[in-house]
Amino acid sequence: MINNSKSAKIITYAIMIILVAACVIPFWLLIASSFTDENYIVQHGYSLLPKEFSLNAYRYLGTAAASIGRAYLMSILYAVIGVTANLILTVLFAYPLSRKDLPGRNGIAFFLFFTMLFNGGLVPTYMVYTNLLGLKDTIWGMIIPYLLMNPFYVIMMRTYINTSIPEEVMEASRVDGATETQTLVKITLPMCKPILATIGLMVLIGYWNNWTNGIYFLQQRSDLFGIQNYLNAVINQTVFLQNHASSSMAVGFKVPTQGVRMAIAVIAVIPLLVLYPFFQKYFVKGITLGSVKG
């Protein structure tokens, strides 16, 4: 039994090491490539260690530091507003659904689930957002469409409330004279920190990585670009300059196309790496309990 236990632990550790390596190596390759000379990448491909160290990619991006900083601020603005609004809407939708005495509870739950399976399609949705709601070339075009409300998060929140908060606690608050609003604010929300942090992190990632809304809804307002849209524009610019090599050679500087792409990815992912440790202690518990059918 002891030998079998040791063997199981060794196999488990080996599998975990392989999985960790599968996650870390691509990211390390990304960082190393951003510091590698462009000619070396073209001739020899990518390597885990920058054999020909170069900062040309970051120097190239440094020429647009002010614009990148503005795009960062816009992404932070979208993320703060979007995450806050998403959590408020999710809580206000999930809490009533968690109450078994809610009139029409099953019908509302079916309507919520139905929207996960079917939608109006891209073109009708775009027309509603632009022609009816007037979100084109506004900051709300980066916040509302596709990201502001997600029925899956509502189901996670409802399930967490049903499985993790004892009904006796709710009843005790009502016996003490608490209203539903007081029960929600003073009892439910403090006990829902893990699921709130989990949903908040996933919504944050969605807003931070969002670039499709910028393509759809920001046609004349490039000043409203978030970091992903701006960096995508930089990639397109480098490709254009690479295709017109004579003009770039005229100024004595060869655009580091491959290195810029890697440097862009590094710049874009840094904020998420900084924030993730603060959410990590809640993430596993929240995603596990919130996803169990209740």
- Residues 6 or more apart from 6 whose CB is under 8 A from it? none
Mean pLDDT rounded to a whole number for the chain: 80
117 pLDDT higher than 90:
no
The C-alpha atoms of residue 54 and residue 56 are separated, in whole angstroms, by 6
Residue 183: phi and psi, rounded to 5, are -65, -40
pLDDT tier at 251 (50, 70, 90 boundaries)?
very low
Question: What pLDDT score was predicted for residue 271?
Answer: 80
Mean pLDDT computed over 191-216: 88
The C-alpha atoms of residue 50 and residue 53 are separated, in whole angstroms, by 5
81 pLDDT higher than 90:
yes
Please tell me the pTM assigned to this model.
Answer: 0.78
Q: What is the pLDDT of residues 13-39, one digit of tens each?
A: 899 999 888 888 888 888 888 888 777
**DSSP letter at 49?**
S
> Is 36 within 8 Å of 52 (Cβ atoms)?
yes
Question: What pLDDT score was predicted for residue 44?
Answer: 73
Count the helices and strands in the chain (H runs, E runs).
15, 0
Percent above pLDDT 90 for the chain: 9
Of 199, 170, 187, which Cα lies nearest the Cα of 290?
199
Tell me which CATH homologous superfamily contains domain 64-290: MetI-like (1.10.3720.10)
2 pLDDT higher than 70:
no
Question: What pLDDT score was predicted for residue 54?
Answer: 78
Mean pLDDT computed over 115-132: 85
- Residues 6 or more apart from 141 whose CB is under 8 A from it? 129, 135, 213, 216, 217, 218
Domain boundaries, the chain: 2-34, 64-290
> Is 94 within 8 Å of 158 (Cβ atoms)?
yes
Question: What pLDDT score was predicted for residue 82?
Answer: 93
